Amino acid sequence: MGWFSGSRAPAEAARPPGLHSQALKALLGGLRPGSRHAVLDLGPPLAANVQFLSALSCRVRIADLHRSLCAESIESRRPEAVGALLERLLPLAPGERFDALLAWDVFDYMRPDQVSALVTRLAPACGPETPVLVLASTEREIPATPLRYRILDPENLTCEGPREPRRASPRHTQPDLVRMMPGFSVRRSVRLRRGLQEYLFIRGAGDEPARAGVAGASRGLSPRVPWFRRGPL
Amino acid sequence: MWNKREEEPIRSPAATPAAAAPTATGERREPAVIGASISIVGDVTGGEDLTILGKVEGKIDLPQHSVTIGQGGRVKADIFAKAVSVAGEVHGNLVASEQIVIRKTATMLGNLSAPRVGLEDGCCFRGSVEMETPAPKGRTAPAPGAPVAGGATPASPGAAAPKPEPAARP
């Protein structure tokens, strides 16, 4: 169990090696010191991450989207019901705003229509330049359940969780993600270790890259894996 | 003499009570327990620690004391307390003046607000975490010795329960 207090600064003790994330650094760097921020974490609850973000004066909202989706009935996960489903799983209060979104690898475990509906739903709650951190696997297979990404320091992560069993990876490309994320454009894209590609998306800003991405996506989503193999069962 | 065991107070075997809290007079008292077969609809207030193993719907207001929701306990209520520990299921917002702990067996849907929060890896939690010392808003501490379940009424099929706040709000 992790204990944390909002008054403490992140520990700077020696850390084990992890993933060096420029996108995380940029995302956190955009949070102005001294003011309150709201961060939406689409991944599972991790005490260390809440501790870290709370020390940066962040109010952290945990969505645990994969677990929530898997707990739903197959009926409610049909494409035509995805809007109502997300409204129930991720209710937004009027005027609720987020200063940053942490998607981690959650999109690898959702159908493209679910990702699009989610992003469309979240876009009004994001101001201009709101950053979104997305990790996408470039490998053929991924763990059956999302890994847990623990923030070690402003630019380092570790990923934890069972690697077996495995399932087919959607292998989302940048154009795939741009197409699934209307209203957002890629600010930064870096290849990490362990077959991960990290993206920093920005709300609204950078129309030019967004257009380029959409144009690139016009050839459609990656055909390597059928769409019905990509999302939760 | 031979029936000494029978004279001992009856305790729920499933209880996971919080540590006995000192009362205003300095004596330490075992927490009150809402047993696994008990359902309460209404507001719960009081002057001692509380362990919930049954069902509670409404509002729990124990600003000077600890509230423990044991494994199997189910709560649909906002909870105001000094410390809150959740191992069961809670739908509602938690506000604690000292700390909140969400155990790995917990299912917690709602917002947390406390100076210290503990989340055990593996817990099911959806909501937001705010690290601020909660300011009491028009609430006064109940008088010592006030009934634990004051104002509570037994659950009935047609009983209208106060609606808790939505799980997510700014």
Q: Does B98 touch chain A (CB under 8 A)?
A: no
pLDDT at B104 over 70: yes
Partners of residue B94 on adjacent β-strands: B79, B112
Residues of A within an 8 Å Cβ radius of B: 1-7, 38, 45-47, 50, 54, 59-64, 67-68, 89-93, 95-97, 148
Q: pLDDT band at residue B22, thresholds of 50, 70 and 90?
A: low
CB contact under 8 A, A45 and B166: no
What pLDDT does A73 receive? 85
pLDDT at B142 over 50: no
- Could you tell me which chain B residue has the CA closest to the CA of A57? B131
What pLDDT does B105 receive? 96
What DSSP line would sit under chain B, residue for residue? -TTGGGGSPP--TT--PPPPEE-TTS-EEPPEEE-TT-EEEEEEE-SS-EEE-SEEEEEEEEEEEEEEE-TT-EEEEEEEEEEEEESSEEES-EEEEEEEEE-TT-EEES-EE-SEEEE-TT-EEEEEEE-SPPPP-S--PPPTT--TTTT-EE--TTPPPPPPPPS---
CA of B16 vs chain A CAs: smallest distance (Å): 18
pLDDT at A51 over 80: yes
In this prediction the pTM is 0.75
Identify the weakest region by mean pLDDT among A65-79, A195-209, A213-227, B148-162: B148-162
What pLDDT does B23 receive? 54
Query: Is the CB of residue A51 less than 8 Å from the CB of residue A1?
Result: no
pLDDT > 70 fraction of chain A, expressed in percent and rounded:
80
Identify the weakest region by mean pLDDT among A71-80, A102-111, B43-52: A71-80
Q: CATH code for A19-226?
A: 3.40.50.150
CA of A226 vs chain B CAs: smallest distance (Å): 31
pLDDT > 70 fraction of chain B, expressed in percent and rounded:
61
* Chain B partners within 8 Å of A68 (Cβ): 126
A196-203 and A184-192: which strand pairing? antiparallel
Per-residue tokens: B99? 């700390």
B contact test, residue of A59, A68, A92 with most B CBs within 10 A: A59
CB contact under 8 A, B126 and A5: no
CB contact under 8 A, B117 and A4: yes
Q: Which of B123, B126, B170 sits opposite A63 (nearest CB)?
A: B126
pLDDT at B125 over 90: yes
What pLDDT does B166 receive? 42
pLDDT at B57 over 80: yes
Taking only the tens place, the pLDDT of each residue in A98-136 is 999 999 999 999 999 999 999 999 999 999 999 999 999
CB contact under 8 A, A46 and B116: no
pLDDT at A202 over 70: yes
CB contact under 8 A, A2 and B119: yes
Residue scoring higher pLDDT (A69 or B28): A69
Q: Does B118 touch chain A (CB under 8 A)?
A: yes
Q: pLDDT band at residue B50, thresholds of 50, 70 and 90?
A: very high
Residue range A53-61: mean pLDDT, rounded: 93
Token pair 């077996």 in the structure block, residue: A164
Nearest C-alpha neighbor of B56 from the set B89, B19, B101? B89
Identify the weakest region by mean pLDDT among A189-198, A204-213, B145-154: B145-154
What pLDDT does A1 receive? 57
Domain boundaries, chain A: 19-226
- What is the overall mean pLDDT for chain A? 83
- Could you tell me which chain B residue has the CA closest to the CA of A89? B126
Partners of residue A149 on adjacent β-strands: A159
- Could you tell me which chain B residue has the CA closest to the CA of A40? B128
* Chain A partners within 8 Å of B132 (Cβ): 6
